[in-house]
Each structure stands twice: as C-alpha cells, then as structure tokens.
C-alpha cells in the first residue's frame, strides 16, 4: 500500500475521542470531552423539528440561508456594536472546525508562517501544516497563562500570513484583555498579517468578564476573521453549525475552500440557529450564570479532594494541578487511571502542547449535569481516600 498523507497519518485519533471511548468502556463520568449536558434550549429543538417537518430539504445556498446570515449580523451589532453586511461578510459552516479549516486552506500559501499560541486546540496545527504553512509557536504557561509579549513579537516576521487567536481559550479558560488584544493588533498591523479569531466560547464568560472580539479593535476590521459556533452558544455541539464573519476580501477566498469541503450545512438546523441567535438577553445571561455555578461547584469539590485549581474566566474548562494527589504519574497516565480506577474522565493538558509540556495538569469540563458533577466528586473523594 502506498503511503497516506504523512501529516494526517502522524496525528493519531484526537484525545477527545480517545478519552470519550475509554469513558464509555469503563462506565466513567465523562468530564473530558468538551460538550454540555442538560442545557439544550427547548425552543431551538422545537424550531428545528418544525423546520424539518416544513422543509425544504435540498441544498441551501452555499453561504448559508439568508435568515441565519442576517441573524449573525444582527447578533454582532447587538453584542459588539459591529456592523456587518450579512450578504457579503457572513458565511455559515458545518461547525467552527470547518470554519477554521476553510480560513486556513483559503488563506495560507505554502511557505507562509502562522503564529499560534500554546496550549492550542488540536485541529489547528495539522490543518496549518496541510495547507503548507510553517507554525511559529508561542507558549502560555500555567498557572497564570500570561501572554509572553517579547516571544510573541519574536514569532512574527515578514513571512507571517496570519495568527490564530482563541479567546475565551480552550483549555486555559483565559479571556484575553483589551490590552493584550491591542498588543496583538499592533503586531498584526506592523507585519501586515491577518488573524483567525476562534471565538466559539464568546458567550461563556463568567464573573463579569466580558468577551471582546479582536475584530472590534482599531485597525482590525479588515484583518480579522471571526468564528462562532452554535454548538457552544446553544449547547448543541452535535449540530455542527458555525459561522465566519470577515470583510469581503478575506471571506471570498475562504468561501472558495468551504465550497469544496462541505459546501453547505443542513438548512433546518440553520433555521433553528437563526431563531436562537435572536433570543432575549436573558437567555445569554442565564447560560453564563448557570455555567459559572457548575464551574464553582466542581472547583470547590476538586479543591476539597486535593487538586489545585487554576482560575477560569471563560469556556467549559477548569485546569487542575494534581501533584498533591499523585507525584509519579504523567498527565496521560493520570487520566487513564482516573477513568479506569476512579470512574471519572479528564483530559491531559500536555496534548495541547507540541513538546516540552508540563505534565501535571488535567482539564475537567464543568458543563455537565449537576448530578453528574456531584457523582464525579463522590467517586474521586472515595478514590483518593477521603471518605
Ligand atoms: N475551537 C475550539 C477552541 C473548540 O474548543 C472547539 C470544540 N469544542 C471548536 C473550535 C470546534 O467547534 P465546533 O464543534 O463548532 O466545530
Ligand atoms: N472542543 C472539544 C474539547 O475541547 C471537543 C471537540 C472534539 O471532540 N473534537 O473537548
């Protein structure tokens, strides 16, 4: 057999799938993979059911149904005071994963450099490389995840085509501040580069911290591609509906990639997401309040067990230092043991780094049912011998 593509062949299966399968196999409570439980809005489910019954069922327009493109533009104006033309500046995709691939395949030329911040979401690097880009990695380190400005500046060069910025950030829970965004904006302008802004957790911020899209900062309107995901905003990750917002000059090449990757997204789900984006402010507010409550419950419980918890201002995730409980295991081994022996699944943080990662942090997803969180804490308490 001839060789398959070496970049994908070298990847293995994503850790999220691996840990979820292991959780099922061992009947573990899955606090690993980032998907919510018990938060699906009934009104969206009803709207999707209505749309399926009513049809149509054929290919919708390649850029997305008009109702959803208008809803994405209205949402940008409502939350960020960002004026967007729904007909030329919005494209619907099959999830943020596809949107990311469209942006990278559509913009990167072989030899271009791409600046990435570690810890990074696992789909970024293989796609950057498959698109012919050379990655320039900059590391954020626990426990503070401070942006190393000098290293970020040094990662930029005249060959930099773009950077990828994930805020609120998976797995750290970091929400970039306006000062950090303005520093990044300065680098993008200085090097005439673009930014693919992965903002899937835009509505999942806590403690009064607000999400600021980089595209709204001075000089950024023509340089940023902003990606959102209905999966996160409406707790419906299986729907795989995402959207990209960018000026026409950036969106056009990205749409060329989209037309050959998925071309479209199921029209009924687009209809329901359009309906959802117009939800009252109370929907968005209560989602954040509810998730903050689950975060606090899990953080308190894990702290009592002996984990050292890092603060998280956004996303679905809490990062925990487990050294007080286990000094010997590395994070992957610790997660396997936790799943198999304690019946609770987490994700090792080292997989979000390319090399040289610190191996005593794990990531827990707190967007789960409260009874599942409580049962997970009971199991961990028993396992670590505190009962
Ligand atoms: N980016 C980040 C940072 C994510 O955590 C995820 C998945 N949870 C995605 C993108 C993918 O989103 P989607 O499910 O809409 O493809
Ligand atoms: N983004 C989710 C996470 O970080 C998982 C998505 C996936 O499984 N591909 O857990």
pLDDT at 217: 97
Query: Which tokens belong to 186?
Result: 């300065």
Neighbours of 162 (CB within 10 A): 26
Atom index in ligand 2 nearest the CA of residue 171 equals 4
pLDDT at 83: 98
Domains contained in the chain, CATH given = 6-40+282-385 (3.90.1150.10), 56-279 (3.40.640.10)
The reply to whether ligand 2 has any atom less than 6 angstroms from the CB of 34 is: yes
pLDDT at 39: 97
Task: At 275, give phi and psi (nearest 5°).
Answer: -60, -45
pLDDT at 329: 85
Which residue do the tokens 């998925």 mark? Answer: 262
pLDDT at 386: 54
CB-CB contact of 14 with 328 (8 Å) = no
Neighbours of 4 (CB within 10 A): 9
Ligand closest to Cα of 96 equals 1
Candidates 299, 292, 345; CA nearest to 319 is 299
- Write out the chain's pLDDT in tens, 387 residues: 999 999 999 998 889 999 999 999 999 999 999 999 999 999 999 999 999 999 999 999 999 999 999 999 999 999 999 999 999 999 999 999 999 999 999 999 999 999 999 999 999 999 999 999 999 999 999 999 999 999 999 999 999 999 999 999 999 999 999 999 999 999 999 999 999 999 999 999 999 999 999 999 999 999 999 999 999 999 999 999 999 999 999 999 999 999 999 999 999 999 999 999 999 999 999 999 999 999 999 999 999 999 999 999 999 999 999 999 998 889 999 999 999 999 999 999 999 999 877 899 999 999 999 999 999 999 999 999 854
pLDDT at 387: 44
pLDDT at 355: 86
The rounded Å distance from CA 96 to ligand 1 centre is: 6
| CA angle (124 as vertex; 119, 129 as ends), nearest 5 | 120
The reply to whether ligand 1 has any atom less than 6 angstroms from the CB of 166 is: yes
The reply to whether ligand 1 has any atom less than 6 angstroms from the CB of 242 is: yes
Bridge pairing between strands 242-245 and 224-229 = antiparallel
Ligand closest to Cα of 119 equals 1
What is the percentage of the chain residues whose pLDDT exceeds 70?
A: 99
CA distances from 80 to 72, 77, 228 (A): 12, 6, 13
CA distance linking residue 222 with residue 185, whole number of Å? 11
pLDDT at 336: 95
The reply to whether ligand 2 has any atom less than 6 angstroms from the CB of 170 is: yes
CA distance linking residue 343 with residue 376, whole number of Å? 8
The rounded Å distance from CA 18 to ligand 2 centre is: 11
Ligand closest to Cα of 173 equals 1
Collapse the DSSP code of 355 into the 3-class scheme (helix H, G, I; strand E, B; otherwise coil) and give the result: coil
The reply to whether ligand 2 has any atom less than 6 angstroms from the CB of 383 is: no
The rounded Å distance from CA 219 to ligand 2 centre is: 32
The rounded Å distance from CA 139 to ligand 2 centre is: 20
The reply to whether ligand 1 has any atom less than 6 angstroms from the CB of 229 is: yes
pLDDT tens readout for residues 341-370: 999 999 999 999 998 778 999 999 999 999
Ligand closest to Cα of 229 equals 1
């Amino acid at each position: 057999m001839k060789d398959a593509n070496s970049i994908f062949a070298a990847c293995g299966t994503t850790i999220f799938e691996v840990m979820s399968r292991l959780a099922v196999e061992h009947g573990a409570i899955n606090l690993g993979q980032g998907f919510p439980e018990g938060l699906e809005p009934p009104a969206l489910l009803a709207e999707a059911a209505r749309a399926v019954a009513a049809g149509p069922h054929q290919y919708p327009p390649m850029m997305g149904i008009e109702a959803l493109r208008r809803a994405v533009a209205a949402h940008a104006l409502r939350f960020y005071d960002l004026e967007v033309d729904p007909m030329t500046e919005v494209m619907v995709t099959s999830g943020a994963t596809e949107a990311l691939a469209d942006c990278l395949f559509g913009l990167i030329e072989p030899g271009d450099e791409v600046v990435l911040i570690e810890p990074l979401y696992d789909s970024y690097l293989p796609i950057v490389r498959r698109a012919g880009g050379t990655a320039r990695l900059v590391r954020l380190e626990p426990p503070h995840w401070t942006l190393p400005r000098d290293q970020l500046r040094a990662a930029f060069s005249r060959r930099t085509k773009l950077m990828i910025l994930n805020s609120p950030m998976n797995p750290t829970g970091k929400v970039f501040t306006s000062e950090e965004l303005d520093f990044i904006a300065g680098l993008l302008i200085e090097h005439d580069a673009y930014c693919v802004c992965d903002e899937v957790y835009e509505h999942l911020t806590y403690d009064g911290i607000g999400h600021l899209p980089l595209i709204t900062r001075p000089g950024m309107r023509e340089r940023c591609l902003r990606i959102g995901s209905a999966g996160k905003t409406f707790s419906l990750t299986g729907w795989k509906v995402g959207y990209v917002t960018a000026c026409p000059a950036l969106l056009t090449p990205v749409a060329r990639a989209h037309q050959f990757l998925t071309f479209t997204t199921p029209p009924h789900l687009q209809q329901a997401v359009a309906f959802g984006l117009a939800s009252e402010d109370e929907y968005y507010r209560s989602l954040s309040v509810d998730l903050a409550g689950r975060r606090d419950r899990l953080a308190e419980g894990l702290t009592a067990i002996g984990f050292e918890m890092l603060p998280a201002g956004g996303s679905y995730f809490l990062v925990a230092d487990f050294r007080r409980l286990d000094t010997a295991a590395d994070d992957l081994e610790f997660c396997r043991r936790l799943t198999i022996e304690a019946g609770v699944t987490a994700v090792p943080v080292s997989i979000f780094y390319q090399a040289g990662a610190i191996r005593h942090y794990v990531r827990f997803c707190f967007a789960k049912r409260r009874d599942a969180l409580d049962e997970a804490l009971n199991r961990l308490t028993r396992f670590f011998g505190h009962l």
